Amino acid sequence: MDKNCPITKTLAHFSRKWTLLILRELHNNGAKRFNHLISDMKDISPRTLSKRLKDLEKLGLVSKKRFNEIPPRVEYSLTNKGKEVIKCFKYLDNWVKRFDIK
């Protein structure tokens, strides 16, 4: 039995505070600028948001798009891989609600 279970390793990323909430925000509202994420998510610090977005980019779940405008504009959105993983967590969300997990 493979103790280095890839699902367990994947979950370690998603169990970090804010990660799922960032994905949900981008899923529900499409592409977003950094400052809009900060203002819409409340309570998250720019430092934490920046770190989490970098992690999500590395994992290939979020892409960063730069627009050649003045002032420069940068938007974050879910990749196809990110959209697909959100679907998995919808099942877990139903389970959490069904069994009233706090």
Tokens 């938007």 sit on residue: 75
- 40 makes contact with its own copies (CB under 8 A): yes
Q: Distance between CA atoms of 98 and 12, rounded to whole angstroms? A: 24
CB atoms within 10 A of CB 93: 13
Structure token pair of residue 40? 């819409």
How many residues touch its own copies (CB under 8 A)? 41
- 88 makes contact with its own copies (CB under 8 A): yes
- 42 makes contact with its own copies (CB under 8 A): yes
- 43 makes contact with its own copies (CB under 8 A): yes
- 11 makes contact with its own copies (CB under 8 A): yes
Binding residue for its own copies, selected from 3, 39, 70, 72, defined by CB under 8 A: 3
Instruction: Give SS3 for 48.
Output: helix
- 98 makes contact with its own copies (CB under 8 A): yes
